Every structure is written in C-alpha cells, then in structure tokens.
Amino acid sequence: MRSCVYLLALISIAPALLAQDEPNPKTLLPQPVIDAMVNEASGSVALAHIMELAAYERDRLAEEYKTSYRESLYIERMAKQYGLDEVKIERFKLATKTWDGELGELWLLDPDRKRLLISYRDVAASLATGSKTSDVTTELVYVGRGEDKKDYVDRNVAGKIVLASGQVGPVHNLAVREFGAAGVVSFANATGKPIDRPDQIAWSGLSRGFGPEGGSQKTTFGIILSHRLGMELVELLQKRQTLQVQAKVRATEYEADMQVPTALIKGTSESSQEVVLTGHLFEGIAKQGALDDASGSAATLEVARAWMKLINDGVLPRPRRSVRFLWIPEIQGTRAYLERYPDEAKRMIAAISMDMVGEDVSKNRNSLRLMRTPYSVNSFINEVRLVRPRGLPELRSAGRAIQQLAGHRLPHQRGPDFRGGSNATEARRLHCAGEPGVYCLRRCSRFASGGGTHGRKRRRTSRRSIAPGAANDRRQSALQGSRQHRADGLRARRRGRPLGRGSG
C-alpha cells in the first residue's frame, strides 16, 4: 500500500492547485503545505478501507439487492464521519437483471475416487459470469482452442463437456450453441504467457448471444481453470482417452439498482464550478475486486478525509470551487449520474479518476501513471499537473512526482500518455457532459496481475488514446501552455515516436 500513500499525496495536491493563488507560478502551493498534505494522507487508512470493502470475495445477500449494498453503506457512513457535505446514495434502476453466482464445482470422477478440481467457493473467478444453473455428469472432450469450427471436425461434443484452451465465451458460442455441448471448461490465459503464470485464473464471462434473437440463445455454463490444471486434464485425456466429470452450477439473476455514493467539499461560493474525484466502487454489482477498483475507491475516500482534516485544522483554506466525490458503478454509473444532473455536469471543469492504484508496482513490474489529455486536445489541467514543488526539478511523470515528494523510489516511469480502458470510458462520459479536462491515475503494466481479490481480471494497456475534449471560450486564458505541448508533439514526431506519448 506504500504506492497508495504516494498517490494520495499527489492527488491531494492536484485539485487544490485549481483553487489557490500563489505569486510563484512554479509552485502554486508553498512547500510547508505540500509537506502537511504528505504527512496527513495515510496509506494505512486507505488499506483499511480496502479491507472493509473487499478483503475477500463475499457472496452478496439477496436482501442487499432490495435495499442498499454493503459497499455503498460503508462509503456513506465514512463520508459522514469525515464531515463531508451532501452525503447521499444516488440510485438508478438497471435495465437488465444482475447475474450472481452461488455455486460452481467441477469434479473428476475417477473409478477409485472423486476429486474436486475447482470450486467457486474458493476461487470466484472460476465460474464464468452468465452461467446458468446446471448439474451435468458426462464425458470431457478436449478440442484444442475451440474458437474455430475446424476445432470440432471429427469430434462429437453433443451432450459432453468441452475442454479448451481458448476463451470461455467464444468457445461456448461454438461448442454449446452450434454443436450441442453441455458446457465448457476453459484454461485460457489472456496474457499470452501462461507458462509464467501457471496458477492464474482470469475473470471472464459468457455472452447473451448476438442479433435479434441473442437473448434467447442457449446458454449453459463455463468453468475456468488455471493453465496448470488444464494441462493436467489434457495429459490425463491423452493417457486414458476418456474422462468422466461432473459440473454443478447454481446462479441467480436479480432485479438491481446502480448505487452511486456521493459527497462534497463545499467551495467558498466564489465559483459555481466543481472539480470531481472518482473511483468505481462496482464493476458490475455482484463482482468484487480489491484492486479493481476498491483501491481507487479507498484512495478517493482517503483524499476526502485528509483534505477535510487539513481544512478543519486551518492548514488549507476551503477551495473556491466545490470538490465532488463520486463512487460509481464502472462506466454505467457515470453515464447515469451525468444524465440525471445535466446542469451539474456543466459545472464540472476537471476530473481525476483513480483506477487500480493499489497494485504492488514492484511485484508486477509496472508503474503508477498519471495520464494527461493528449496533445491534440489540450486542457488547462495539464499545466497544473506539470507545476513543480519549490526546489525540485520539473516532473513529467506522476510516479516521479510522488517519489520525490514522499522521498521514496519507484520503478522506471514511462511517458505520461493518456491510455484507454475503463477509466478512458469514464473520461469520455465526463467529456460528453462538457468537462474539459479528465485525469486518469491508474496502474499500468504490460501484463497486469489481476483486477480482483483473486486476481480475476487482467488488462492490457496498449489501447488507443481517448481525447477528453477542448475547453470552451471562458477557459481560453488557462490554455497558454498549449504551445509548449504542440512543440513537444513536433519533437516527438522528429524522434519517430507516436503522437500523444510523453518523453518520460
């Protein structure tokens, strides 16, 4: 959690800069104030929030779907305890039912003994989302990747359970919906290097089908294994020719709400504008993840606590602009909130979105990264980001900034480019509401270790940049730094680097 301390230090600074006037444009905040922020922000408190939110995979009780989710109530309670204003839980009805797994087991039926291969009880990622209640005892058939029709040539899979190395969703579409299989067992590893992570299980799911009749297409179940366990079954099939297995699945679909806890640090009323800090508290309703994104939600809550404490202690003045905190269901919650409050959306001038910031960057060979708007669509918020504390060299990397402020060393930082992913989608939603500058602070790695308590979700970070939008006329005076950014872009082209990439 030490990296979360660095994050809190920087995030506590960035929004405050928008509300401060200092004579020296290189600092904006005096060093004693920055030190006070670093000393107040606590990684231990943020970690405690993560433990309360997602210490382990909890089965969400049916009663929660009728009332309030445990996570929403926790954020609401803590925000009130910290003295934030306008604390409430916004509710939005979901158009579709929410899937919730309850049981998922795969048994190997040897003549001499019955062996439990994997259980949803132990590893929640082992049951593909969208799976239907089933109890099947049948033969296991290996079809290679199973993502192409040629993988099923001369193989009779009807009524049998298919074992495949391909992704569970595409395999299910073919094996079950076209060739009549009873279900799918997959040991796919999306990183492309399963030998390096033989025991990792990736979160994945089954689609509802495609086209007008998609919702009515046949759906059974998908069970996901590690590469090691999948290869063990392949070897057993090669030796014995046939294997009998039993798959037990129980799942339910609930009518559910999206819940968005929200709170405010009120400004001095000199401006009606708002700065927004977000972390997605839910990624779906049933699925939970300590890293993705209880860590971002916890960091956001700790920023709120530390900032309010510094205001109450007289260390920081109350900001001129109000600061809105949103703990949202990923993507959908942002859209729903902005559609409900279009006037509020127009007052939002900048956002900082925190995604998966609790990852151990040393273990996972990656870095914390602060992603600015691209050169093609500039924002004043980029200039705030590049301000350096007194006595420190100019900082163009979030990790380096936090490292120097906190006095710790982080792994090598690459350029501050704005990448895609879930928070890029949040940026898109905020931009469409008229918000000019959206920061995304998240962990980045070539191969991520996982997004949940069980390392269920892995995500590449090589997606295209998302432009959060140009500022309108009333903010033109704040965009004087755009010339420098364009010059940086020209230098990048001359060096043969892609546009939108920083120099690191």
End-to-end CA separation in angstroms for the chain? 24
Q: How far apart are CA 146 and CA 164, in angstroms?
A: 6
Residues 321 and 242 in one domain: no
Q: How far apart are CA 20 and CA 474, in angstroms?
A: 19
Residues 410 and 481 in one domain: yes
For residue 421, pLDDT beyond 90 = no
- Residue 113 pLDDT level (bands cut at 50, 70, 90): confident
According to the model, what pLDDT value does residue 417 have?
33
Residues 227 and 273 in one domain: no
Judge whether 31 lies within some domain: no
Residues 236 and 352 in one domain: no
Q: How far apart are CA 374 and CA 83, in angstroms?
A: 36
For residue 308, pLDDT beyond 80 = yes
Judge whether 217 lies within some domain: yes
Total structural domains in the chain?
2
Residue with tokens 């595409």: 170
For residue 158, pLDDT beyond 50 = yes
Q: How far apart are CA 225 and CA 189, in angstroms?
A: 9
For residue 279, pLDDT beyond 90 = yes
Residues 80 and 197 in one domain: no
- CB of 275 closer than 8 Å to CB of 351: yes
Residues 326 and 448 in one domain: yes
Judge whether 132 lies within some domain: yes
For the full predicted model, state whether its pTM sits above 0.75: no
Residues 195 and 269 in one domain: no
According to the model, what pLDDT value does residue 285 have?
84
Among the candidates 206, 234, 253, a domain finishes at 253
Residue with tokens 């067992």: 185
Q: What's the mean pLDDT in 285-294?
A: 84
Prior bond to 293 cis, omega within 30?
A: yes
β-strands 348-355, 367-371: how paired? unpaired
| Better pLDDT: 179 or 499 | 179
Show the domain range for 72. Answer: 61-96+256-494
Judge whether 25 lies within some domain: no
Residues 80 and 103 in one domain: no
Query: In b/e form, how buried is each residue of 260-299, taking b as 16+ CB within 10 angstroms?
Result: bbbbbbebeeeeebbbbbbbbbbbbbbbbbbbbbbbbbbb
Extract the tokens encoding 47: 């970690």
Among the candidates 231, 253, 275, a domain finishes at 253
For residue 286, pLDDT beyond 50 = yes
Q: What's the mean pLDDT in 147-158?
A: 94
Judge whether 2 lies within some domain: no
Residues 78 and 162 in one domain: no
399 CB contacts (<8 Å, ≥6 apart)? 6, 361, 367, 368, 369, 370, 410, 411, 413
For residue 238, pLDDT beyond 70 = yes
Among the candidates 253, 269, 295, a domain finishes at 253
- CB of 419 closer than 8 Å to CB of 330: no
Range name among 208-217, 237-246, 447-456, 487-496 with the lowest pLDDT average: 447-456
Beta bridge partners of 222: 184
Judge whether 500 lies within some domain: no
According to the model, what pLDDT value does residue 384 have?
62
**CA 398 to chain CA mean position, Å:** 18
